[in-house]
A = this chain, B = another copy of it.
Protein backbone atom coordinates (compact mmCIF):
# COMPACT_ATOMS: atom_id res chain seq x y z
CA UNK A 1 0.00 0.00 0.00
CA UNK A 2 1.28 3.46 -0.87
CA UNK A 3 2.06 5.50 2.21
CA UNK A 4 3.71 8.84 2.61
CA UNK A 5 6.94 9.55 4.45
CA UNK A 6 5.58 9.39 7.98
CA UNK A 7 4.40 5.86 7.46
CA UNK A 8 0.66 6.56 7.28
CA UNK A 9 -1.66 7.25 4.40
CA UNK A 10 -2.22 10.95 4.02
CA UNK A 11 -5.69 12.16 4.98
CA UNK A 12 -6.85 12.84 1.46
CA UNK A 13 -5.48 9.58 0.20
CA UNK A 14 -7.51 7.94 2.91
CA UNK A 15 -10.58 9.94 1.99
CA UNK A 16 -10.17 8.98 -1.65
CA UNK A 17 -9.90 5.35 -0.71
CA UNK A 18 -13.06 5.60 1.38
CA UNK A 19 -14.99 7.07 -1.52
CA UNK A 20 -13.72 4.33 -3.77
CA UNK A 21 -14.85 1.69 -1.28
CA UNK A 22 -18.29 3.29 -1.05
CA UNK A 23 -18.63 3.17 -4.79
CA UNK A 24 -17.45 -0.40 -4.94
CA UNK A 25 -20.11 -1.32 -2.41
CA UNK A 26 -22.79 0.48 -4.37
CA UNK A 27 -21.77 -1.19 -7.57
CA UNK A 28 -21.77 -4.59 -5.90
CA UNK A 29 -25.09 -3.97 -4.19
CA UNK A 30 -26.69 -2.74 -7.38
CA UNK A 31 -25.72 -5.93 -9.12
CA UNK A 32 -27.18 -8.15 -6.43
CA UNK A 33 -30.34 -6.09 -6.05
CA UNK A 34 -30.92 -6.36 -9.77
CA UNK A 35 -30.59 -10.12 -9.75
CA UNK A 36 -32.49 -10.98 -6.63
CA UNK A 37 -34.47 -7.97 -5.53
CA UNK A 38 -33.92 -5.81 -2.51
CA UNK A 39 -35.84 -7.80 0.06
CA UNK A 40 -34.37 -11.11 -1.02
CA UNK A 41 -30.83 -9.79 -0.88
CA UNK A 42 -28.98 -10.14 2.39
CA UNK A 43 -26.28 -7.90 3.73
CA UNK A 44 -23.98 -10.90 3.65
CA UNK A 45 -24.46 -11.21 -0.08
CA UNK A 46 -23.69 -7.57 -0.60
CA UNK A 47 -20.62 -7.92 1.59
CA UNK A 48 -19.46 -10.98 -0.31
CA UNK A 49 -20.01 -9.26 -3.66
CA UNK A 50 -18.02 -6.26 -2.44
CA UNK A 51 -15.37 -8.47 -0.89
CA UNK A 52 -15.82 -7.10 2.60
CA UNK A 53 -16.95 -8.49 5.90
CA UNK A 54 -20.61 -7.92 6.77
CA UNK A 55 -19.80 -5.77 9.74
CA UNK A 56 -17.60 -3.53 7.71
CA UNK A 57 -20.47 -2.38 5.50
CA UNK A 58 -21.76 -0.42 8.44
CA UNK A 59 -18.70 1.69 8.47
CA UNK A 60 -19.68 3.03 5.05
CA UNK A 61 -23.48 2.94 5.17
CA UNK A 62 -25.78 3.05 8.07
CA UNK A 63 -28.34 0.52 6.87
CA UNK A 64 -29.35 -1.70 4.02
CA UNK A 65 -32.00 0.78 2.97
CA UNK A 66 -29.32 3.42 2.93
CA UNK A 67 -27.40 1.45 0.36
CA UNK A 68 -30.47 1.12 -1.80
CA UNK A 69 -31.09 4.81 -1.44
CA UNK A 70 -27.67 5.76 -2.74
CA UNK A 71 -28.00 3.30 -5.62
CA UNK A 72 -31.23 4.90 -6.68
CA UNK A 73 -30.02 8.41 -6.04
CA UNK A 74 -26.98 7.85 -8.21
CA UNK A 75 -29.13 6.53 -10.98
CA UNK A 76 -31.81 9.17 -10.94
CA UNK A 77 -29.18 11.88 -10.72
CA UNK A 78 -27.60 10.63 -13.87
CA UNK A 79 -30.90 10.70 -15.65
CA UNK A 80 -31.64 14.21 -14.47
CA UNK A 81 -28.22 15.24 -15.71
CA UNK A 82 -29.13 13.88 -19.13
CA UNK A 83 -32.14 16.16 -19.23
CA UNK A 84 -30.05 19.15 -18.36
CA UNK A 85 -27.75 18.70 -21.31
CA UNK A 86 -30.55 18.11 -23.73
CA UNK A 87 -30.80 20.62 -26.58
CA UNK A 88 -34.31 21.90 -26.02
CA UNK A 89 -34.38 23.62 -29.35
CA UNK A 90 -34.06 20.49 -31.41
CA UNK A 91 -37.14 18.86 -32.91
CA UNK A 92 -39.29 17.10 -30.31
CA UNK A 93 -38.76 13.75 -31.96
CA UNK A 94 -35.04 14.16 -31.72
CA UNK A 95 -35.20 15.18 -28.08
CA UNK A 96 -37.36 12.21 -27.21
CA UNK A 97 -35.09 9.87 -29.12
CA UNK A 98 -32.10 11.09 -27.18
CA UNK A 99 -33.85 10.76 -23.84
CA UNK A 100 -34.93 7.22 -24.61
CA UNK A 101 -31.44 6.21 -25.67
CA UNK A 102 -29.81 7.79 -22.65
CA UNK A 103 -32.34 6.29 -20.28
CA UNK A 104 -31.80 2.83 -21.68
CA UNK A 105 -28.04 2.99 -21.83
CA UNK A 106 -28.08 4.07 -18.22
CA UNK A 107 -30.62 1.45 -17.20
CA UNK A 108 -28.79 -1.39 -18.86
CA UNK A 109 -25.48 -0.35 -17.48
CA UNK A 110 -24.21 -2.33 -14.55
CA UNK A 111 -24.11 0.19 -11.77
CA UNK A 112 -26.57 2.79 -12.73
CA UNK A 113 -29.64 1.01 -13.75
CA UNK A 114 -29.60 -1.73 -11.25
CA UNK A 115 -32.36 -0.98 -8.85
CA UNK A 116 -32.79 2.45 -10.17
CA UNK A 117 -36.42 3.11 -10.59
CA UNK A 118 -37.57 -0.06 -9.00
CA UNK A 119 -38.16 -0.95 -5.40
CA UNK A 120 -38.80 2.55 -4.13
CA UNK A 121 -41.33 0.90 -1.87
CA UNK A 122 -38.55 -0.68 0.13
CA UNK A 123 -37.21 2.66 1.31
CA UNK A 124 -38.24 4.18 4.62
CA UNK A 125 -40.59 7.12 4.26
CA UNK A 126 -38.05 9.92 4.40
CA UNK A 127 -35.65 8.46 1.88
CA UNK A 128 -38.51 7.38 -0.33
CA UNK A 129 -39.85 10.92 -0.45
CA UNK A 130 -36.52 12.21 -1.67
CA UNK A 131 -36.18 9.66 -4.43
CA UNK A 132 -39.80 9.93 -5.49
CA UNK A 133 -39.41 13.70 -5.73
CA UNK A 134 -36.46 13.40 -8.07
CA UNK A 135 -38.05 10.63 -10.05
CA UNK A 136 -41.14 12.76 -10.50
CA UNK A 137 -39.04 15.66 -11.64
CA UNK A 138 -37.53 13.42 -14.24
CA UNK A 139 -40.89 12.11 -15.35
CA UNK A 140 -42.22 15.65 -15.65
CA UNK A 141 -39.26 16.57 -17.81
CA UNK A 142 -39.97 13.71 -20.18
CA UNK A 143 -43.63 14.59 -20.15
CA UNK A 144 -42.80 18.16 -21.06
CA UNK A 145 -41.07 16.99 -24.20
CA UNK A 146 -44.05 14.88 -25.14
CA UNK A 147 -46.58 17.60 -24.40
CA UNK A 148 -44.55 20.22 -26.21
CA UNK A 149 -44.35 17.98 -29.24
CA UNK A 150 -48.10 17.67 -29.24
CA UNK A 151 -48.58 21.41 -28.89
CA UNK A 152 -46.08 22.13 -31.64
CA UNK A 153 -47.89 19.67 -33.86
CA UNK A 154 -44.81 17.51 -34.12
CA UNK A 155 -46.56 14.69 -32.27
CA UNK A 156 -50.11 13.45 -32.70
CA UNK A 157 -52.48 14.50 -29.98
CA UNK A 158 -53.02 12.30 -26.95
CA UNK A 159 -52.75 12.17 -23.21
CA UNK A 160 -49.16 13.18 -22.36
CA UNK A 161 -49.31 11.60 -18.91
CA UNK A 162 -50.32 8.18 -20.11
CA UNK A 163 -48.08 8.28 -23.14
CA UNK A 164 -45.08 9.17 -20.99
CA UNK A 165 -45.85 6.33 -18.63
CA UNK A 166 -46.10 3.90 -21.51
CA UNK A 167 -42.67 5.01 -22.67
CA UNK A 168 -41.05 4.84 -19.24
CA UNK A 169 -42.68 1.49 -18.59
CA UNK A 170 -41.20 0.02 -21.76
CA UNK A 171 -37.80 1.38 -20.75
CA UNK A 172 -37.82 0.36 -17.11
CA UNK A 173 -39.18 -3.09 -17.78
CA UNK A 174 -35.97 -3.89 -19.64
CA UNK A 175 -34.30 -4.63 -16.30
CA UNK A 176 -36.54 -7.64 -16.06
CA UNK A 177 -35.37 -9.39 -19.16
CA UNK A 178 -32.11 -7.82 -20.27
CA UNK A 179 -29.05 -9.76 -19.24
CA UNK A 180 -25.84 -7.75 -19.49
CA UNK A 181 -22.99 -9.61 -21.07
CA UNK A 182 -25.21 -11.39 -23.57
CA UNK A 183 -24.88 -10.87 -27.29
CA UNK A 184 -27.48 -8.13 -27.49
CA UNK A 185 -25.64 -4.83 -26.96
CA UNK A 186 -27.46 -2.08 -25.05
CA UNK A 187 -27.18 0.18 -28.07
CA UNK A 188 -29.22 -2.24 -30.17
CA UNK A 189 -32.01 -2.16 -27.63
CA UNK A 190 -31.77 1.61 -27.45
CA UNK A 191 -32.10 1.99 -31.22
CA UNK A 192 -35.00 -0.38 -31.61
CA UNK A 193 -36.90 1.14 -28.69
CA UNK A 194 -36.28 4.71 -29.80
CA UNK A 195 -37.50 3.93 -33.30
CA UNK A 196 -40.64 2.24 -32.15
CA UNK A 197 -41.57 4.55 -29.31
CA UNK A 198 -40.98 7.76 -31.23
CA UNK A 199 -42.82 6.58 -34.29
CA UNK A 200 -45.91 6.05 -32.19
CA UNK A 201 -46.02 9.79 -31.63
CA UNK A 202 -44.98 11.06 -35.04
CA UNK A 203 -47.65 13.18 -36.61
A residues adjacent to B (C-beta < 8 A): 35-40, 119, 121-122, 156, 158-159, 162-163, 165-174, 176-177, 188-189, 192-193, 195-201
Instruction: Tell me the number of copies of this protein.
Output: 4
**A121 and B169 contacting across the interface, CB-CB below 8 Å:** no
Secondary structure call for the A interface? helix
**A196 and B40 contacting across the interface, CB-CB below 8 Å:** no
**B121 and A162 contacting across the interface, CB-CB below 8 Å:** no
Q: Which of B158, B173, B189, B201 contacts A168 (CB 8 A)?
A: B173
Identify 25 residue pairs between A and B in the complex whose beta-carbon atoms are under 8 Å apart, listed by A's number: A35-B121, A36-B121, A37-B39, A37-B119, A37-B121, A37-B122, A38-B39, A39-B39, A158-B192, A159-B192, A162-B188, A162-B193, A162-B196, A165-B173, A167-B170, A168-B173, A169-B169, A169-B171, A169-B173, A169-B176, A172-B176, A196-B200, A197-B200, A199-B201, A200-B200
Chain B CB within 10 Å — which of A188, A197, A201 has the most? A197
In the complex formed, the residue of B with least CB distance to A35 is B121
Cβ–Cβ < 8 Å partners of A171 in chain B = 169
What's the least CB distance linking A108 to chain B, in Å? 12
Chain B CB within 10 Å — which of A163, A166, A174 has the most? A166
Within the assembled complex, what's the spacing in Å between the Cα atoms of A63 and B2?
33
Cβ–Cβ < 8 Å partners of A193 in chain B = 162, 166
**B121 and A40 contacting across the interface, CB-CB below 8 Å:** yes
